[in-house]
């Protein structure tokens, strides 16, 4: 029975991955076939540009495109912008899946358009967006965008899943020492974060104070990384703004948790000659700032590179079609993409672990009591 359940889970994951491959491959194939003969998306540069476009955040979910009718299938998200005339809200479907500034949305006397996933407000009387020699808009300016984009939707979904999961775990502990239901899945991971990450790095006396943050960061990153492997095309942890915010939380907690020994070792290191103290002070300050920078770059670069490699392997069906034929190139690209995606499942957990581990290590360095005898 256990073997059967594991087999069903493996098949479900496999089907989910193949669906993700099919969605991206279909969209890429459509872009190749829908253009005119001299403008196909079939060169390495054009495919790279197409992949980079899909890695960016967007105001709607694009799931599927009908090759015959050219109709896009997906679902829109709320657009919430602050313009020169105040707040304006509408659904992203008003832009009709256009991202080149061609569609103008009139909303209560304000003309809005979308260019490269950025929303602009046109000047009064303008009917289309105009550009200078550097392709910068001359008669439009950006608005304050508070829209529910794909990344925001993904973070809200991850937060909801965490509330449901940990709520089930808490209710399970109310019934007895051993949780039941889905809580039994989360308990080993919670214990792992506590015993293998928090205690060794922060210490037995002070780790409990930071368990809430460490658990939140671990599961938040892990869930978002797994969502990135679904057909919905999330790339939340591949957005530099998200990783900056996560690293900033760690940085603030470390600085506010630092004891007098921590600050003394930064600004006036004990046991060191005065000239060396003056030399070491800016180095220590720089090291204090580079720690969160290393956190945000590591998570951003690894997740973006993983998605880019998977999509590049799927794109082999386009670039290798002439050499190996459509059947062989498609089979080869999907097999290679499947292999990399299985590794991506491990990377999804590994990046959550590394971020949490380094965060606990930095906190432990800040709260550690030093012996100066």
Task: List the chain domain ranges.
Answer: 78-147, 151-367
Instruction: For residue 30, give Cα distances in angstroms to 26, 41, 67, 85, 232.
Output: 6, 9, 6, 39, 18
- Reduced to 3 states (helix: H, G, I; strand: E, B; else coil), residue 216 is helix
Give me the pLDDT at residue 62, please. Answer: 74
Tally Cβ neighbours within 10 Å of residue 216: 16
Q: Which helix (H) or strand (E) holds 62?
A: strand 60-65
CB contact set of 250 (below 8 Å; sequence gap of 6+): 217, 292, 295, 359, 362, 363
The model's pTM is: 0.80
The Cα angle at residue 159 between residues 153 and 161, in degrees rounded to 5: 105
Residue 64's DSSP bridge partners are: 73
- Centroid of chain to Cα 205: 34
Query: Would you tell me the crossing angle of helices 260-267 and 326-367 to the nearest 10 degrees?
Result: 100
Task: Give pLDDT tens digits along the chain (373 positions).
Answer: 444 444 444 445 444 444 454 444 445 444 444 443 444 555 666 667 766 667 788 888 877 666 666 666 678 889 999 988 889 888 888 887 777 777 888 888 888 888 878 888 888 877 788 888 777 787 788 889 899 988 899 999 999 999 998 888 888 877 777 777 777 788 889 999 999 999 999 988 889 999 999 999 999 999 999 888 887 777 888 888 899 999 999 999 999 988 888 888 888 877 778 888 788 888 888 888 888 898 889 888 888 887 777 777 766 666 666 566 666 666 776 777 777 777 888 888 999 999 999 999 999 988 887 665 4
């Amino acid at each position: 029975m256990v073997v059967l359940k594991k087999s069903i889970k493996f098949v479900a994951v496999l089907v989910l991955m193949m669906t993700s491959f099919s969605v991206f491959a279909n969209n890429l194939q459509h872009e190749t076939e829908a253009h005119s003969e001299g403008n196909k998306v079939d060169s390495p540069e054009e495919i790279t540009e197409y992949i980079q476009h899909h890695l960016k955040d967007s105001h709607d979910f694009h799931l599927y495109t009908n090759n015959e009718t050219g109709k896009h299938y997906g679902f829109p998200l709320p657009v919430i912008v602050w313009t020169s005339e105040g707040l304006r809200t509408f659904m992203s479907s008003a832009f009709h899946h256009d991202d080149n500034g061609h569609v103008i949305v009139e909303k209560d006397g304000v003309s809005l358009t979308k260019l490269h996933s950025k929303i602009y407000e046109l000047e009064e009387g303008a009917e289309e967006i105009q550009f200078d020699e550097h392709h910068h808009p001359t008669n439009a300016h950006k608005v304050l965008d508070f829209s529910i984009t794909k990344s925001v939707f993904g973070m809200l979904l991850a937060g909801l899943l965490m509330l449901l999961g940990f709520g089930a775990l808490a209710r399970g502990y109310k019934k007895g020492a051993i949780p039941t239901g889905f809580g039994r899945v989360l308990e080993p991971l919670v214990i792992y974060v506590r015993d293998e990450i928090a205690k060794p790095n922060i210490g037995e006396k002070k780790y409990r104070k930071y368990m809430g943050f460490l658990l939140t960061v671990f599961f938040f990153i892990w869930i978002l990384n797994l969502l990135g492997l679904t057909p919905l095309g999330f790339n939340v942890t591949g957005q530099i703004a998200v990783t900056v915010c996560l690293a900033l939380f760690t940085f603030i907690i470390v600085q506010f948790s630092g004891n007098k020994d921590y600050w003394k070792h930064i600004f006036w290191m004990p046991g060191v000659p005065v000239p060396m103290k003056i030399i070491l002070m800016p180095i220590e300050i720089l090291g204090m700032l580079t720690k969160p920078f290393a956190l945000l770059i590591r998570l951003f670069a690894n997740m973006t590179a993983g998605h880019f490699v998977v999509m590049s392997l799927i794109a082999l069906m386009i670039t290798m079609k002439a050499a190996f034929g459509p059947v062989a190139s498609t089979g080869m690209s999907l097999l290679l993409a499947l292999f990399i995606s299985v590794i991506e499942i491990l990377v999804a957990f590994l990046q959550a672990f590394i971020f949490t581990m380094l965060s606990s290590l930095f906190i432990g360095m800040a709260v550690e009591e030093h012996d100066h005898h």
